[in-house]
Amino acid sequence: MFQFRSCPRCRGDVFLEDQGGLQDLVCLQCGYRRPLPQGALPPQGIRVEVVITGEGR
């Protein structure tokens, strides 16, 4: 999930990082990280799925 211009530090784009049940909101531009409490729903945003097919070049 991405949220555009949502970083409180730099107004950059943040995404939801899930590591074994622990979730953080992380800024792509400055690296700001905010943990989400367990069981909390992340803010609504755009869901992005990356699908890689075939061999790399």
Three-state secondary structure of the chain = CEECCCCCCCCCCEEEEEECCEEEEEECCCCCEEEECCCCCCCCCECCCCCCCCCCC
Calculate mean pLDDT across residues 20-30: 89
CB-side neighbour CA atoms (13 Å) of 47: 3
- Does the pTM of the predicted model rise above 0.75? no
Calculate mean pLDDT across residues 8-15: 92
In angstroms, the CA 42 to CA 21 distance is 13
CATH number among 2.20.25, 2.60.40, 1.10.10, 1.10.20, domain 1-52: 2.20.25
Domain boundaries, the chain: 1-52
| pLDDT exceeds 80 at position 35 | yes
More confident residue, 10 or 21: 10
In angstroms, the CA 13 to CA 1 distance is 10
